[in-house]
Structure 1
Amino acid sequence: MNQTRTFLMFALLAVAYFLFLAWEKDYAPPPPQAAVASAASAATPTADASVPGAIPVASVPGAATPTITTTAGPAAPASAQLITIDTDVLKLSVDTRGGSLVHADLLAYPQAPRTHKAPNPPPTVLLANDDAHYFVAQNGLVSSSDSAPADQPNHLALFHSEKTTYALADGQTELKVDLTWQDAAGLKVTKTYSFKRGSYVIGVSQRIDNGSTTPWQGNAYQQLLRVEPPKASNWLKNYTDPETRSFQGAAWYTGEKFEKLSFKDFAEPKDLLNAPIKGGWAAMLKLYFFAAWIPPTGQTEQYVTQTINPDSAHPRYLIRTVGPALSVAPGQSLTSQSRLYVGPNLQGTLDTIAPGLDLTIDYGMFKIIAVPMHWVLSQFHAVSKNWGVAIILLVLLIKGLSWKLTAVQYRSSAKMRKLAPRIQALKERYGDDKQKMQMATMELYKKEKVNPMGGCLPVLITMPVFYGLFFVLEYSLELRHAPFLWIPDLSAPDPLYILPIIYAIVMLGTQWLNPVAAGMDPTQAKMMKVMPLLFTVMFAFFPAGLCLYYAVNGIVGLGQQWWITHHVDREDVVKPA
Structure 2
Amino acid sequence: MNQTRTLLFFALMFVAYLLWTEWEKDYGPQPAAPTPAAQTDAGKPNTDSSIPGAAVPAKVPGDSAAPAEEGKAELVTLSNDVLRLTIDTRGGSIVRSELLAYPNEPVTKKNPSPPPARLLDDEAAHFFAAQDGLVSNTGPAPDHRALFHAEKTQAALADGEKSVSIDLTWTDPSGLKVVKRYSLKRTDYVVDLDQRVENGTSTAWTGNAYHQLQRVPAEKVNWFKAYTDPAQHSFFGAAWYSPESKFESLPFLDFAKKPINRQITGGWISMLQHYFFVAWIPPADQSVNYSSTIVDPNSATPRYLVRAFGPTIQVAPGQAVDSVARLYIGPKLQGTLDVIAPGLELTSNYGWLTIIAQPLHWLLSQLHAISGNWGVAIILLVLLIKAALYKLTDAQFRSGARMRKLQPRVAALKERYGDDRMKMQQAMMELYKKEKVNPMAGCLPILITFPIFIGLLRVLSESIELRHAPFFGWIHDLSAPDPFYVLPVLYFLVTLLTQRMMPTAGMDPTQAKMMKVMPLIFGVFFAFFPSGLVLYWTVNGATSLLQQWWINRSVDRADIKAKTA
Instruction: Answer yes or no: same fold by TM over 0.5.
Output: yes
**Paired residues of 2:84 and 2:98 also in contact (CA < 8 A):** yes
Between the aligned partners of 1:76 and 1:50, the Cα distance in structure 2 is 18
Give matches, 1:8-27, under 5 Å. 8-22=8-22, 24-25=24-25, 27=26
Between the aligned partners of 2:444 and 2:268, the Cα distance in structure 1 is 42
**Paired residues of 1:141 and 1:218 also in contact (CA < 8 A):** yes
Alignment pair present for 1:419 and 2:406: yes
Could you say what secondary structure the match of 1:473 adopts? helix
Alignment pair present for 1:87 and 2:101: no
Partner residue in 2 for 1:530: 517
**Paired residues of 1:369 and 1:465 also in contact (CA < 8 A):** yes
Q: CA deviation at 1:333?
A: 0.9
Equivalent of 2:456, from 469, 482, 495?
A: 469
Residue 121 of structure 1 aligns with an amino acid whose one-letter code is P
Please give the per-residue CA displacement for 1:48-69, whole angstroms capped at 9, x wherever unaligned: 6533304444666xx5224375
Partner residue in 2 for 1:366: 353
Between the aligned partners of 1:480 and 1:179, the Cα distance in structure 2 is 36
Equivalent of 1:152, from 126, 136, 141?
A: 141
Between the aligned partners of 2:523 and 2:113, the Cα distance in structure 1 is 33
Decide which moves more: 215-224 or 427-436.
427-436
**Paired residues of 2:479 and 2:530 also in contact (CA < 8 A):** yes
Between the aligned partners of 2:378 and 2:280, the Cα distance in structure 1 is 34
Equivalent of 1:236, from 224, 229, 241?
A: 224
Partner residue in 2 for 1:67: 63
Between the aligned partners of 1:113 and 1:466, the Cα distance in structure 2 is 26
Partner residue in 2 for 1:124: 117
Residue 61 of structure 2 aligns with an amino acid whose one-letter code is T
Residue 210 of structure 2 aligns with an amino acid whose one-letter code is Y
Between the aligned partners of 2:514 and 2:129, the Cα distance in structure 1 is 50
**Paired residues of 1:66 and 1:218 also in contact (CA < 8 A):** no
Partner residue in 2 for 1:163: 152
Please give the per-residue CA displacement for 1:370-418, whole angstroms capped at 9, x wherever unaligned: 1111111111111111101111111111111111111111111111111
Please give the per-residue CA displacement for 1:319-361, whole angstroms capped at 9, x wherever unaligned: 1011111111111111101000001110110000000100101
Could you say what secondary structure the match of 1:213 adopts? coil
Please give the per-residue CA displacement for 1:12-42, whole angstroms capped at 9, x wherever unaligned: 22123224434554x44671433xx35x89x
Partner residue in 1 for 2:173: 184
Residue 48 of structure 2 aligns with an amino acid whose one-letter code is G
Q: CA deviation at 1:550?
A: 0.4
Equivalent of 1:501, from 460, 464, 489?
A: 489
Partner residue in 2 for 1:219: 208
**Paired residues of 1:52 and 1:76 also in contact (CA < 8 A):** no
Aligned residue-pair number: 557
Could you say what secondary structure the match of 2:330 adopts? strand
Q: Given the superposition, is the C-alpha separation of residues 516 and 77 from structure 1 closer, same or farther in structure 2, using an over 3 Å criterion?
A: farther
Alignment pair present for 1:198 and 2:190: no
Residue 268 of structure 2 aligns with an amino acid whose one-letter code is W
Q: Given the superposition, is the C-alpha separation of residues 46 and 569 from structure 1 closer, same or farther in structure 2, using an over 3 Å criterion?
A: farther
Alignment pair present for 1:252 and 2:240: yes
Q: CA deviation at 1:576?
A: 4.1
Could you say what secondary structure the match of 2:431 adopts? helix
Could you say what secondary structure the match of 2:152 adopts? coil
Q: CA deviation at 1:425?
A: 0.9
Q: Given the superposition, is the C-alpha separation of residues 64 and 28 from structure 1 closer, same or farther in structure 2, using an over 3 Å criterion?
A: same
Equivalent of 1:393, from 376, 380, 401?
A: 380
Equivalent of 1:105, from 95, 98, 102?
A: 98
**Paired residues of 1:193 and 1:205 also in contact (CA < 8 A):** yes
Q: Given the superposition, is the C-alpha separation of residues 46 and 30 from structure 1 closer, same or farther in structure 2, using an over 3 Å criterion?
A: farther
Partner residue in 2 for 1:33: 32
**Paired residues of 2:168 and 2:179 also in contact (CA < 8 A):** yes
Partner residue in 2 for 1:487: 475
Could you say what secondary structure the match of 2:479 adopts? coil
Q: Given the superposition, is the C-alpha separation of residues 524 and 319 from structure 1 closer, same or farther in structure 2, using an over 3 Å criterion?
A: same
Q: Given the superposition, is the C-alpha separation of residues 78 and 343 from structure 1 closer, same or farther in structure 2, using an over 3 Å criterion?
A: farther
Q: CA deviation at 1:188?
A: 0.5
Give matches, 1:170-569, under 5 Å. 170-232=159-221, 234-256=222-244, 257-268=246-257, 271-485=258-472, 486-518=474-506, 520-569=507-556
Between the aligned partners of 2:253 and 2:207, the Cα distance in structure 1 is 33
Q: Given the superposition, is the C-alpha separation of residues 153 and 494 from structure 1 closer, same or farther in structure 2, using an over 3 Å criterion?
A: same
Between the aligned partners of 1:33 and 1:469, the Cα distance in structure 2 is 37
* TM-score between both structures, scaled by the size of structure 1: 0.93
Residue 296 of structure 2 aligns with an amino acid whose one-letter code is N
**Paired residues of 1:167 and 1:175 also in contact (CA < 8 A):** yes
Partner residue in 2 for 1:6: 6
Between the aligned partners of 1:261 and 1:77, the Cα distance in structure 2 is 36
Between the aligned partners of 2:520 and 2:24, the Cα distance in structure 1 is 27
Q: CA deviation at 1:242?
A: 1.2
* TM-score between both structures, scaled by the size of structure 2: 0.95
Please give the per-residue CA displacement for 1:429-452, whole angstroms capped at 9, x wherever unaligned: 111222211211111111111111
Residue 255 of structure 1 aligns with an amino acid whose one-letter code is P
Q: Given the superposition, is the C-alpha separation of residues 395 and 291 from structure 1 closer, same or farther in structure 2, using an over 3 Å criterion?
A: same
Q: Given the superposition, is the C-alpha separation of residues 87 and 488 from structure 1 closer, same or farther in structure 2, using an over 3 Å criterion?
A: same
Q: CA deviation at 1:8?
A: 0.7
Could you say what secondary structure the match of 1:109 adopts? strand
Between the aligned partners of 1:305 and 1:175, the Cα distance in structure 2 is 32
Between the aligned partners of 1:79 and 1:564, the Cα distance in structure 2 is 78
Residue 18 of structure 1 aligns with an amino acid whose one-letter code is L
**Paired residues of 2:64 and 2:136 also in contact (CA < 8 A):** no
Between the aligned partners of 2:501 and 2:563, the Cα distance in structure 1 is 25
Question: Could you tell me the percent identity over the aligned residues?
Answer: 58
Could you say what secondary structure the match of 2:253 adopts? helix
Between the aligned partners of 1:400 and 1:10, the Cα distance in structure 2 is 22
Q: Given the superposition, is the C-alpha separation of residues 66 and 223 from structure 1 closer, same or farther in structure 2, using an over 3 Å criterion?
A: farther
Please give the per-residue CA displacement for 1:227-253, whole angstroms capped at 9, x wherever unaligned: 111222x21111111111111011000
Q: Given the superposition, is the C-alpha separation of residues 215 and 398 from structure 1 closer, same or farther in structure 2, using an over 3 Å criterion?
A: same
Could you say what secondary structure the match of 2:311 adopts? coil
Between the aligned partners of 2:44 and 2:331, the Cα distance in structure 1 is 39
Q: Given the superposition, is the C-alpha separation of residues 517 and 7 from structure 1 closer, same or farther in structure 2, using an over 3 Å criterion?
A: farther
Give matches, 1:130-141, under 5 Å. 130-141=123-134
Q: CA deviation at 1:70?
A: 10
Could you say what secondary structure the match of 2:21 adopts? helix
Residue 278 of structure 1 aligns with an amino acid whose one-letter code is T
Q: Given the superposition, is the C-alpha separation of residues 507 and 210 from structure 1 closer, same or farther in structure 2, using an over 3 Å criterion?
A: same
Please give the per-residue CA displacement for 1:177-208, whole angstroms capped at 9, x wherever unaligned: 11111101000001100110100001001111
